[in-house]
Structure 1
Amino acid sequence: MSKSSDSTLNLLDDLVKAALKGGADAADAVAVDARSKGVSWREGQMEDVEGSEGEDIGLRVMIGKQQAMVSTSNRSADNLKEVVERTLAMARAVPEDQYCGLAPEDKLHTGPFAELDLYDDTEVSAEQLAEIAREAEEATRAVEGVTTSPGAGASASSWAIDLVTSHGFAGHYKGSSFSSSVSAVAGEGTGMERDYDFTSTRHFSDLESAAAIGTKAGELAVKRLNPSKAESGQKPLIFSPRVANSLLGHFAGAISGGAVARGTSFLKDRLGEAVFADGVTIVDNPLMKRGLSSKLFDGEGVRVQKANLVEGGMLKTWTLNSATARQLEMEVTGHASRGTSSAPGIGTTNLYMEAGTLSPDELMADIADGIYITELIGMGVNGVTGDYSRGASGFMIKNGEITESVSEFTIAGNLKDMFMALVPASDLEFKYGANAPTVRIDGMMVAGT
């Protein structure tokens, strides 16, 4: 552990002890130190350079069943003393929350932390970032049929998280992130079409080349030119990986302990039941090496572990922090998320759907008339009922082959039915925080011409 992390942990420990001395029954403190820089590039020149630095501290205190949180970016002794006093005063004034409290002590991470290789200390200058963005834009504009690029960007960031609780947990870890992205426009006037590509990694050396993402963005935009209109009706749909992962987001929201406890989830009564088809397994793995959403412990200091949320189609667990675990009379699952200004929330980490056995081509081989979805528009999803309706664009599937582009149509169904009909392909890749392979869903309604 670095001297800087030792220093921050000591500061947080002093803050927690001061809260206890002032009358708190329990307390925890979190520090988030973040640094970032980024550039944007447009039409052959630098458009903008941005940089930010933040050192935020959050204190949470509990007096009986009353709790309050205060955050600050001022680490001076006088200010931190005032923060303790203000947080205690707020806790005494708020209504009781019967479910508040620290995580169960026997669930805390007490052993050595995993080595996940989340931090790369490579110093990337603004000039290097500008060169990456320039190369991406030039590659995009070089694609035949591309008329312009709305711009490209590149960024580098790093952060450190420290957490101390009054019942004995102290932990620190840090991470880094590097990314580049580019947009492309093909065609002219009312016939213009846009698309994009990007790359994001923990380590600078893992970034996909700027030329590769630039070329791909341009080719994707050109493929979308001269779209036709989809005919209305019930059709089999193929979701490309970059939109299939949105289905994981809807699933994650539905199994969040907060939604289940409030009764606002369309899966609230389905624990232990089949909610996907037999061949579907969904995994949350916080311990993935160089994972974009990996963590060493959760927002309450609880030990994290790889877990099958869905196994063979069966819903195995909710995602719970300590408050929702108490409310539902269950055990915490290590899914607490944390900022500096609010009580712990709930979130997944490296969420993914395991690959199936069929290639994307095999998955669509028997589709006589369907649609390959590459973009979803709008947020017409009801988390209480599962009703699903979104604008979309993509490509027609005719006799098992992807053909002309198609746009300006709506797809609709219910997530409960969609999950049960979902079939994953074999092309899983890890590019996002949540990842899914290509998936097929039969029986959805398409509203077009």
Structure 2
Amino acid sequence: MPTPSPDTLSAQLLDAARRAGAESADAMVLADRSVTVEVRGGALEQAERAEGIDLGLRVMLGRRQACVSASDPRAETIAEMAERAVAMAREAPEDPHAGLADAAQLAEDRSAAALDLADPAPEPAPDALQQDAARAEAAALAVEGVSQVQAASASWGAREMHLAASNGFSGGYRRTSRSLSCVAIAGAGLGMERDYDGDGRVYQSDLRDADEIGRTAGERAVERLGARRPRTGAYPVVFDERIAASLVGHLLSAVNGTAVARGASWLRDALGEQVLPEALSLIEDPHRPRVPGSRPFDAEGLPTRRRAIVENGRLTGWTLDLATARKLGMASTGNAARGVSSPPSPTNWNVALTQGTRSRAELLAEMGTGLLVTSMIGSTINPNTGDYSRGASGFWVENGEIAWPVNECTVAGNLREMLLTLVPANDARPWLSRVVPSLLVEGLTLAGE
């Protein structure tokens, strides 16, 4: 017997919840397919195909709620899920902020057609994925100085999601993904260095060429040979476009409704205040076509919308789902996300920071002497104060030119102060969910030699 569709299964979950005694409920069903291929030494290293369906049910008794999940779509499993969820909800503590959306809050347009999230091209054959990975590996190995390729992999995936709730909401959509990556190692022994390149797209036809990805990974690894620690002191730092989005990520974490409601945010008292330079805005747009973060509605059935998180440098609002909005006495921003085994929580979709007019090279020239960071490890962020410390590697810059590679150093500062000094380049990749260019930050402390 074929597995019922996600919309049919979500309706069955709601019916089972009602029969088990739930006062209200919502259900999420995810149907996934994926293929991943890894190559090493020109030969197939690993091939994996996965197909599965995940069911999630949240039931409510008054202000008590419970979530259960399963990966078995049989009718008896669905009935058992509902009974167990209701029994759990009876024992759960009351949450005054829990509850489904009112019918008037629900998205009216639930179609994802305009977002172009699913590639109509057929699923690629495993041989095609293997050829892409092998080409990337060969291109990396062809770079002089590359000693080996740690990993070259290609993958494809498709997911169908359906959300239904007892408040009358029912909607779903399909999305696809295609990715290719390569990690190259240069040098030998204790002098080995590695770096990577990769790409991930909704449409296979948009994916960057495998030869380019492999060659770039190899060149980046070779450029890192001979790395040493920089001088300790206070210097300006340019965060390369590859990792600059992490700075925006810290800001997004600080304006997340969960952190704000708990009082555990270094921006908790900054609503309406300047948090970025006046020329910069941070825009969230969940309606960008062919971008992984796009969606027509959130995990509570509310419509998603374009909004300015920061406008002309000033913080305009928090990122909220229904529960955190109720806790803060505000309205949801349509940013609820959830998995099948947990209740909704706020998150961000696609965000873009205002780009500058200068290239990264021009930013380095403006910086003069300092550090270009191309990769980071570890993280120590104080959520209450914004004190920031991360391990970094990259390149030392003298007189505006890259002088030598750097590793084993720590970059430290305070995020509130750092973000106010941002100077953006113009090199952000427009197809990413976080469109953030290289960023110059003044006055950070480097711990090196």
TM-score under structure 2 length normalisation: 0.96
Query: 80, 96, 99: which is aligned to 1:98?
Result: 96
Which whole-Å deviations, capped at 9, do the CAs of 1:221-240 have from their partners, x for residues lacking one? Answer: 11111123311111011110
* 2:36 is equivalent to residue 41 of structure 1: no
After superposition, the Cα gap between the structure-2 partners of 1:405 and 1:7, relative to the gap in structure 1 and judged at 3 Å, is: closer
Contact 2:36 2:48 in 1 (8 A): yes
Contact 1:279/1:356 (CA < 8 Å) preserved in 2? no
Task: Quote how far apart the aligned CAs of 1:21 are.
Answer: 4.2
Distance 1:308 1:34 in 2: 33
- Aligned partner of 1:118 in structure 2 is 117
Matches within 5 A, 1:148-227: 148-227=148-227
CA contact under 8 A between 1:43 and 1:151: conserved in structure 2?
no
Structure 1 residue 309, shift from structure 2 partner: 0.7
Residue 87 of structure 2 is aligned to residue 89 of structure 1: yes
Structure 2 distance, partners of 1:435, 1:6, is 38
For residues 41 and 309 of structure 1, the distance between their equivalents in structure 2, rounded to whole angstroms, comes to 42
Per-residue deviation at 1:284? Answer: 1.5
Q: Residues of 2 paired with 1:185 and 1:10: CA distance?
A: 49
Contact 1:5–1:172 (CA<8 Å) still a contact in 2? no
Q: Give the secondary structure class of the aligned counterpart of 1:90.
A: helix
Give distance in 2, aligned partners of 1:54 and 1:433: 26
Report the Cα distance in structure 1 between the residues aligned to 2:98 and 2:307, rounded to whole angstroms. 25
1:120 counterpart SS class: coil
Structure 1's unaligned 5+ residue stretches are none
Q: Cα deviation per residue 1:192-219 (whole Å; 9 max; x = unaligned)?
A: 1100000100011111010000000011
**Contact 1:310 1:316 (8 Å CA) reproduced:** yes
Taking the TM superposition and a 5 Å limit, the aligned residue runs for 1:424-439 are 424-430=424-430, 432-439=432-439
Q: Is the 8 A contact 2:16 2:78 kept in 1?
A: no
Q: Is the 8 A contact 1:5 1:162 kept in 2?
A: no
Q: What's 2:74 paired with?
A: 76
Structure 2 unaligned segments of length 5 or more: list them: none
Q: In structure 2, what residue type is equivalent to 1:36?
A: S
Letter of the 1:116 counterpart: L
- For residues 235-270 of structure 1, what are the alpha-carbon distances to aligned partners after superposition, in whole Å with 9 as ceiling and x for unaligned? 011110111011121111111100000011111111
User: Counterpart amino acid of 1:245?
Assistant: A
CA distance in 1 between counterparts of 2:444 and 2:304 reads 37
- 1:18 Cα deviation (Å)? 3.5
Q: Cα 1:8–1:406, aligned 2, differ >3 Å: closer, same or farther?
A: closer
Question: In the alignment, what sits opposite 1:17?
Answer: 15
Identify the residue that residue 423 of structure 2 maps to in structure 1. 423
Distance in 1, Cα, partners of 2:367 & 2:256: 35
Deviations 1:149-190 (A, max 9, x none): 112000000001100111111101010000010011111121
TM-score (norm 1): 0.96
Higher mean alpha-carbon deviation, 397-406 vs 358-367, is at: 358-367
Q: CA-to-partner distance for each residue in 1:42-62, whole Å, 9 max, x for gaps?
A: 122111011111201111111
Whether the 8 Å CA contact 1:354–1:428 is kept in 2: the answer is: no
AA partner of residue 428 (structure 2): L
Does residue 60 of structure 1 match 2:58? yes
- Determine helix, strand or coil for the equivalent of 1:127: helix
Letter in 2 for 1:99: H
Corresponding residue for residue 357 of structure 1 = 357
Aligned pair count reads 446
- Residue identity over aligned pairs, in percent, reads 43
2:417 aligns to what SS in structure 1?
A: helix
Q: Is the 8 A contact 1:250 1:383 kept in 2?
A: no
Q: Report the Cα distance in structure 1 between the residues aligned to 2:223 and 2:431, rounded to whole angstroms.
A: 22
- Alignment-mate amino acid for residue 95 of structure 1: P
Q: 1:5 to 1:348 in 2, by over 3 A?
A: farther
- Residue 331 (structure 1) aligns with: 331
CA contact (8 A) 2:291 2:431 kept: no
SS at match of 2:389: strand
What displacement does 1:444 show?
0.4
- Distance, in Å, in 2 between the alignment partners of 1:399 and 1:104 is 60
- CA drift at 1:29: 0.6
The change in CA–CA distance for 1:348 and 1:335 in structure 2 (over 3 A counts) is: same
Cα separation, 2, equivalents of 1:6 and 1:190: 55
Alignment of 1:210-289 (within 5 A): 210-289=210-289
